[in-house]
Every structure is written in structure tokens, then in C-alpha cells.
Amino acid sequence: MALAFQDPGLLWLAAAAGAVPLVAHLVARTRPPEAILPTVEFLQRAMRGVWRLRRPQDWLMLLLRILALVILALGFARPLQLAGEGWGGGTDEKHLVLVVDRSASMAGQAGAQSRFSVATARALEALRGAGRLASVNLVWIDAVPDALHPDMGRTTEPLERALREAAVSGEAGSGAAALALAAERLATVSGTRELVVISDFQTGSWSEALPPLPEATRLVWIPVGETADNLSLAALESSSTQPLPGESIEVLARIVNHGNERRRARISMTLGAQRQTRELEIEGNGEGQVSAEFALDPDESGELPLRAALEGEGDALAGDDGRWIVVRQREPLAVALSLPEGSVSEEEREVWSRLLRSILWTREVAPGDPADLAIVAGPTDSFLPLAEAVWKKKGGVIFRPTAAAGLPTDWESGGAAGSWQKSGADEAGWSLKTGDEKDPLLALFASGEYGNPVAGSARDRWRIDPAEAGPGWAVPVRYVDDVPAIRRRAINGGSLWWWNLPLDPELASWTRQPAFLPLVGEALLLSRPDRADPPHWLAYAGGFARWEPEDYLESGEVVLLDEAGTNLAITEDGTSLGRSWISAAPLEPGLFRWALRDRELQQDRVLAHTVVPFPESEMDPGAIDPASLVAAAADGQSSSALAKPDWEKMRDGTPLWPWFVAIALALFALEALFLMLRRSSPQPARPIAS
């Protein structure tokens, strides 16, 4: 039992109080009233025999008085009983493992301080109040729990130091994994084992089944923090993280209300100099989403972080109020035109070229150059290598059927065949209609802002039996007689468009419609090859960031900076084929920037970004009742004396001053009783017979 005093300055009072009876005793012994007695010699002789007998009683009385006064005075110093011989009980030597949660949710508030601060403080108190320890260890609750000592440690100093220096990891927590690691450490020792788990018991960290524990293990659950309302920015997504020049992106932010009350959320999203703010009401335990559209400057290049943040106060957890994604404007799509002479008219070829030049995010390349898209016509042999190269890049090939070639049979599922049709010059041709309103190609036109995509007609087409269009084809646009005008299917990882619409203005009136350009543009957009986000854009809390530059780096030093501009340790990975760098320490949620530092100019040029999102499992501050864990552990364990310490008393201590006063009064009463006994039965005064 540890004893402390709230007013230690009053301890001098106890010392003074203890001296009072001693001084009084000495003074009383030297200053009694005087009396003449002729028989002093006899008295003196009597004293010699009596003194040895009486002295112990006198000292006992003196001791009682001193004790009573000292204890009474100590009561004024407001004594407290602090943590005792160990929270699990028992006074024998034991092996102790502290399992302390430092997952992201531990950054939440617990009163005036964070849950983690409370947890480490209580862990230190647990360590100091644990009594006699044979061995100790510390296991952190992380995504991947780790122990301070590979085996059990002998002294508590490293644990105390680690607890003092520790910080919240920002990772998701796995209580079960941490317990398993602690159990593994405890299994290496024999004797009394004690496992003290200090956590907020956040739902996400304790959802897994608890592992079995070694025999004779006392398990103590110590909850910290309380359930509080929390608004979380659960997700941030963009319609495209690599938009084409001029292409706007739509950003969606999903907000989750983890409280029971309806709350208003204010979200700001920032991309470069653009900032947009949205507000919404979210029901208790519900979620909502907001969107914002950003348009990148076509001249912008390189990566841009897009930040969304929840604004306002009264949130339990600040870490999940911000989120990032990285966007990068890609190069214009390289479109190769393979329209052999004779396959399409010169006018149509000119239309295609003009069209590619007029679209901001396309550029025409020669058929031999690498291309993202291809517009082909004519015999298959003439464009097959090009098409396969595009498909290899998961791009799209727009095949333009002509009188010379409708479609290679092996590309046509079901082996559909058809015939070339050409109407007269004075005829209106075949008008168009919507084949599938829900097709992505037509999504842009749903609002009507971009015109009617099926307005106009064509006088030159390849006719196939609509019933034999073949499975796997999507037909967004048809002719009025159901002959497919535009159809699309996936092939070899890419897409294949069967573009049965002439672009020669002489042959088709739809090219003069307002919707012409958007329709072709949409087709090209849908045909563009998907480009995966670079792996360095995303890392997970507790993990490591790795950056492998796509381009050759000029001279300079690669550095990794956090949001505050602090330089983080990195190491260069020489094992990979190219040069890459890895963060030396696990990362917490946030935005990190890879930069090339020019030491001479003292400038950092940011080249890449890494986003570490806040783990979604840690966003719900709701805690499970440790009692359910107690029950779960008890069911699965062969042992485990489970207890939950009274934290109020552990933290504040048990006031002992009433006990001190009571003990002092009891001692005074005991002294009075002694005095009464002595006075009520004095030595009888026997007269001497004369």
C-alpha cells in the first residue's frame, strides 16, 4: 500500500505534535508541585524498586499520547491510500505484462487529456503499484502488436521510459492480437502471471475473439475514456484521381455520425487554391455524403493533394476529421488514326483529325506510335498490331465499319454477319434512336444540357440483323430499324467500339448536331485506358511509405516531409530494380510529401505525395463493456481471476483522514481508560499499626 499526503506541507505538524507529549512529559517530570516529607529517604528507597516496574507503563502512556497526536496531526495532512499490492490482488512475486492500447482511437479525449495519456499514466501506476515483480513486459495494441522485450524483462525502468515516451500510433488496433502476443510472452515463464489490459475498448479494436491465456493468469481490464459523440470523415473519393486535361473531377466525402444526436457537419475541401465548403445534417448513427467538383488547370502538372476536413468543435476524435487524396492530371490521350485510304472518305478522316485536335485532352499520333486509343477501319490486318497494343494498355479501339470491312468474324460474338447499305443522296437516310438510356455513353446527355445525342441521321451504314448483334455488346445508339449504330464490348482487357456512324458530313447529318462532339468525346473518354494510381499514393497507418520515382531524378536529396514540414527518416531501397525510398518508421495518418531537396538553394521540390488515411475501424468511439470481455475470457480460459479496479480510488486515492482521526481518538480513549483504571484502583493507603 502506498501512502501519500495531499498536504505534505502539514507533515511538520505531525512532528511537532509528536514532540508535544514528549516535552510535556519531561517538563511534568521536572516541575511537579513540591511537598515537604521527612521520610524522603524511605521514599527514595521505595522508588528504586518501583521505578523499573512503573517505567514501562509510563512509557506506554507516553507512546500512546505521542501516537495519538502524531496520527491526529497526520490526518490534517489528508493522507491518501494509493494503489496497493497489485490490481489483480495477491502479494506474491509475479510476472506482469501490461497491454496498453495506442491505436488511433486512443487519441480521443478523456476529460482534459487524451485517452492515451490517461492510459500511460495508469500503466505507470499499475507498474509502480504491482508489488514484487519477477518479470515484466509491455505490449502495445496496434494493427500489428509489438512487445517491448522479446522475452520477459527483469526491470521496470525500460517500461516506464517507453510509457513516458510513447505516442498514439494512429493505427487500427487489434486487442486480440495484442493479448495473443502477451499470452505468448507469459507462457515462457512459470509462476503467478498477471495481465493488465488498459484500453478504451473501442469496438473496432476488440471485435475479434480473445485468444486463450496461460494457466493461472490474472487478467485485469482497465477501461479509459468514455463514449463520446464523434463525426468522422469516413471516406474521400474522386471520380478520377488522374483526370485528363480539362476534365473536372467530382469529389465525394462520406461523413459518419457516431453519436446518437442529429448533428450538422461542415466539410471543406481544398485542392490547390480551390476551396469548397459543404454543410449537411446527419442523423444520429447515420451517415451522409457531400460532393464538390473541381476543375484542374489544364497546364497543371504533377501531383496535387486534395484535402477534406470536418470543421467545428465538440468532436471526440480529431484524427478522423481530415482526409486526403492525391490527384494528378495526366497527359492528353494519344489517339492513333488507322483509316487506310479507301476505307473511309477523306472528309471523314479530316473530321476525325479535326475532332481530335479540338478536344483538349486528345492528341493524334501516328499509327506506329504508342497510343491510348485507336480509331481504325479497313482490313483487320492493317490495324491489328495497333489494336492489340491499345488493348494491352486497356484502351479502346473504335472500329469504323465500311463497305470494305464490316467486322472481323472472330471479333463478332456469335459470328454475326451483315451487309453494307448505302441510301441515295436525295434520301434522308436512317435516323437514330437511343438504344440504352442507361448506357454510360449517354449519361452526359441525361440533363439535356449537351443536346440530343441521337438527333440526325446517316445515309451510309453496315446493316446487321439486330437479333444477331451478339451477346456481350452494349448498344447505346441504334437506327430506327434497330440496327446498331454504336455498340461496345470489352475485349482483351480493353474495349471495342463498333462505330456504325459515318462522320462524313455529306453522309450523316448527326455530325452537325450539338451533341456530336460531346458524344464522340464521351466515347473517347470511356475508351481511355484505366491508369492505376501510383502505389506511393497510399499507405496505411503503422505501415511504411515507399516511393519509386517514375522519372529520373536530378541531383538532390530525397526527403520525406510530414504536414508540418518535419523531415522524417527514410532509407533508400537498393534491392529493387529502380531507385526507391522507404520511410524508416511506421507512419501515422496524414499527408506526407516526397521532395527533392536542393541543399545549395535550400529548397524542396515536392515530387510525390503519400496519404495515410485514418483507419475507419477506429472512428467509432463506442466502447464495448469490458464486462463482456471478462465473460468472453472467462468462458474461453481455464483460469483468469478477473477484476476491474476502482479507478476513482486508484487515481484519487482513498482518503484516510477519517481513519487517522478515528485511530487517534481510539488511542486517546485507550489512554483515558488506562488513567481511569489507575485512578480507580490506586494502591491502598494502609495505616501502620502503632
Partner 1 sequence: MADGRPANREPAEALSRYLRPEDARLLRAMTFSPRMMVDGALSGKHRSRLRGASMEFHEYRSYAPGDSPALVDWRVFARSDRLHLRTFRLETHLECHLFLDASASMDFRSEEDGLTKLDWASHFAAGLAYVVTLRQDRISLTIFDEGPRAFLPPGGTRGHFRRMLSMLDTNEAGGRTDLAGALEKSLPLLRRRGTVIVVSDFLADPAAVFQALAAYTHRGYRVFLFQVLTPAELNLPGSQTRRYVDPETGRRVTAHSDTVRTAYLEEIEAHQRALAALASRRGIGLVQARTDQSWLAQIRDLTR
Binding site for partner 1 (CB under 8 A): 28-30, 32-47, 49-50, 54, 678-679, 682-688, 690
User: E strands along 622-675, which residues?
Assistant: 642-643, 654-655
Looking at the Cβ atoms of 12 and 59, the one nearer to partner 1 is 59
Cβ of residue 29: shortest distance to partner 1, in angstroms? 6
Cβ of residue 55: shortest distance to partner 1, in angstroms? 10
Residues belonging to the chain: 690
The closest alpha carbon to 94, from 190, 185, 159, belongs to 190
Instruction: Measure the CA–CA gap between 12 and 173, rounded to whole angstroms.
Output: 49
Instruction: Measure the CA–CA gap between 234 and 262, rounded to whole angstroms.
Output: 17
Q: How many other β-carbons are positioned within 10 Å of the β-carbon of residue 55?
A: 10
Q: Which three cell numbers stand for residue 255?
A: 461523413
Cβ(476)–Cβ(436) under 8 Å?
yes
Cβ of residue 47: shortest distance to partner 1, in angstroms? 6
Cβ of residue 60: shortest distance to partner 1, in angstroms? 14
- Helix (H), strand (E), coil (C) string for 216-268: CEEEEEEECCCCCCCEEEEEEEECCCCCCCCCEEEEEEEEEECCCCCEEEEEE
**Residue where the block lists cell 477523306:** 346
Instruction: Measure the CA–CA gap between 140 and 100, rounded to whole angstroms.
Output: 5
Cβ of residue 93: shortest distance to partner 1, in angstroms? 51
Cβ(461)–Cβ(430) under 8 Å?
yes
Instruction: Measure the CA–CA gap between 237 and 681, rounded to whole angstroms.
Output: 95
Q: How many other β-carbons are positioned within 10 Å of the β-carbon of residue 577?
A: 6
Looking at the Cβ atoms of 49 and 578, the one nearer to partner 1 is 49
Cβ of residue 645: shortest distance to partner 1, in angstroms? 53
**Residue where the block lists cell 466502447:** 623
Cβ(470)–Cβ(458) under 8 Å?
no
Cβ of residue 670: shortest distance to partner 1, in angstroms? 19
Run of H or E including 592: strand 590-598
Q: Which residues contact 408 (CB under 8 A, 6 or more apart)?
A: 380
Instruction: Measure the CA–CA gap between 355 and 379, rounded to whole angstroms.
Output: 23
Looking at the Cβ atoms of 52 and 599, the one nearer to partner 1 is 52
Q: Which three cell numbers stand for residue 186?
A: 507469459
Looking at the Cβ atoms of 32 and 574, the one nearer to partner 1 is 32
Count Cα neighbours of 184 within 13 Å in the Cβ-side half-sphere.
Answer: 13
Cβ of residue 59: shortest distance to partner 1, in angstroms? 13
Instruction: Measure the CA–CA gap between 145 and 99, rounded to whole angstroms.
Output: 10
Cβ of residue 66: shortest distance to partner 1, in angstroms? 19
Looking at the Cβ atoms of 34 and 554, the one nearer to partner 1 is 34
Looking at the Cβ atoms of 209 and 677, the one nearer to partner 1 is 677
Cβ of residue 62: shortest distance to partner 1, in angstroms? 14
Looking at the Cβ atoms of 555 and 681, the one nearer to partner 1 is 681
CA dist list (Å): 650 to 129, 362, 413: 10, 70, 76
Looking at the Cβ atoms of 4 and 47, the one nearer to partner 1 is 47
Cβ of residue 671: shortest distance to partner 1, in angstroms? 16
Cβ of residue 18: shortest distance to partner 1, in angstroms? 22
Instruction: Measure the CA–CA gap between 630 and 197, rounded to whole angstroms.
Output: 11
CA dist list (Å): 512 to 249, 427, 429, 503: 29, 17, 15, 10
